[in-house]
Amino acid sequence: MCLTTHWVDEDWVLKKKILNFCQIPNHKGEIIGKLVYRCLQGWGIDKIFTVTVDNDSSNDGAIRFLQRMLKGPHSILDCKYLHLRCNAHIINLVVKEGLEEQVDSISRIRNAVRYIRSSPSRYQSFKESVEKENIDCKRKPCLDVDTRWNSTFLMLETALKFSKAFDRYFMF
């Protein structure tokens, strides 16, 4: 788990710091909450507005634990808004759902990219196809990462630039 903090200083400048990296022995909400709370105590942080987490149900338990521990005279708005869901994670889930409509096409492209990148000789042959098609692109075809929807976009974008090279490569 990585714990970061973001705040605005007295000059209204946004500051960001990594507070801690730690192993989580299990994904029970109370355990996660205790680890976060101990870290905050270690840094002397007692005024917290929000904690941003993904939608995993264990995070609900972690937030409940933190609300119990942080409520009091120093709490901001009585910890009412402590739980903030990660918008990037939500967008990733929405986009992944939308991409399911195109799963066959995306899988074919992913498999083609994986195939040419899986050995130096295949990649060299693919580069020769790129040269024969006069494709001017400094990037090489990239694979996507399941948890990053924008990586699927980048994979498709580069594959489109290399489409003629893919056609040539797989024809011969």
Tell me the pLDDT of the chain averaged across its residues. Answer: 91
Output the CA–CA distances (angstroms, integers) from residue 76 to 48, 66, 72, 79, in the order listed. 6, 13, 9, 6
d(CA 159, CA 5) in angstroms, rounded, equals 38
- Per domain, the residue ranges of the chain are 2-85, 93-171
pLDDT confidence of residue 15: 96
pTM of the model: 0.61
In the chain, what percentage of residues exceed pLDDT 70?
99
pLDDT per residue as tens digits for the range 129-172: 999 999 998 889 999 987 777 899 999 999 999 999 999 999 86
